[in-house]
Amino acid sequence: MAVTGEPGLVVDRRYLLREQLAREGPATRWRATDTILAHEVTLWLLPATSAEAPAVLAAARRAARVQDGRLPQVLDMATAGDLTFVVTEWVDGPTLSELVTQAGPLRPRQAASLVREAAEALTAAHRQAVWHLRLEPEHVVSTPDGVKVLGVGLDAALAGAHSDDPTRTDAEGLGWLLQVALTGASQRSGMPAELDEITVRALEQRTQGGRPALATPAAVAEALARYGRRRPAPVAGIAGAPPRHGTRRTTRRRAAVALTTAVVAVAAGVVGLWAGLPTSEQGASATLSPTPPRSPSTPSSASSTVTPSSRSTPATSSSSATPVAKRQVPVVAARAFDPGGDGHEHDAEVSKAIDGIARTAWRSDGYTTAKLGNLKPGVGVVLDLGKSTQVESVELRLPTGGADLELRAATLRPEALDDTKKVATMSDAGRKVELRPDGEHAARYWVVWFTYLPRNGDGHRAGLADVAFRPAS
For residue 437, the domain's CATH number is: 2.60.120.260
Same domain, 392 and 269: no
Which run of H or of E encompasses 167? helix 166-183
Between the alpha carbon of residue 128 and those of residues 65, 310, 389, 440, the distances in Å are 7, 31, 40, 47
Angle at 415 between CA 432 and CA 343, to 5 degrees: 75
Same domain, 366 and 296: no
Q: Which residue in 457, 466, 443, 439 sits closest to 381, CA to CA?
A: 466
Q: What is the DSSP letter of 395?
A: E
Of 223, 256, 272, the position where a domain reaches its end is 223
Q: How far apart are CA 417 and CA 286, in angstroms?
A: 56
In a domain, 241, yes or no: no
In a domain, 201, yes or no: yes
Q: Domain range spanning residue 48?
A: 10-90+248-316
In a domain, 242, yes or no: no
**Residue 246 is which amino acid?**
G
Same domain, 365 and 458: yes
Q: What is the DSSP letter of 72?
A: P
pLDDT at 287: 29
In a domain, 405, yes or no: yes
Same domain, 295 and 187: no
Q: How far apart are CA 269 and CA 276, in angstroms?
A: 12
In a domain, 237, yes or no: no
Classified as helix, coil or strand, 82 is coil
For residue 61, the domain's CATH number is: 3.30.200.20
- In DSSP notation, 336-361 reads EE-TTTTS-SSGGGGGGGSSS-TT--
pLDDT at 328: 82
Q: How do beta strands 463-464 and 362-363 pair? A: antiparallel
User: What torsion, rounded to 10 degrees, do the Cα atoms 131, 137, 141, 146 define?
Assistant: 80
Which residues are within 8 A (CB) of 279 and not within 5 positions of it... i.e. 6 or more apart?
A: none
Same domain, 101 and 143: yes
In which residue ranges of the chain is pLDDT below 70?
1-4, 186-188, 228-327, 457
pLDDT at 311: 43
For residue 174, the domain's CATH number is: 1.10.510.10
- Quick check: pTM over 0.85? no
Same domain, 194 and 213: yes
Same domain, 44 and 76: yes
Count of Cβ atoms closer than 10 Å to residue 307 Cβ? 21
| 164-199: burial string, b at 16+ Cβ within 10 Å, e else | eebbbbbbbbbbbbbbbbbbbebebeebeeebbbbb
pLDDT at 22: 86
In a domain, 178, yes or no: yes
In a domain, 435, yes or no: yes
Which residues are within 8 A (CB) of 55 and not within 5 positions of it... i.e. 6 or more apart?
A: 157, 160
Same domain, 299 and 417: no
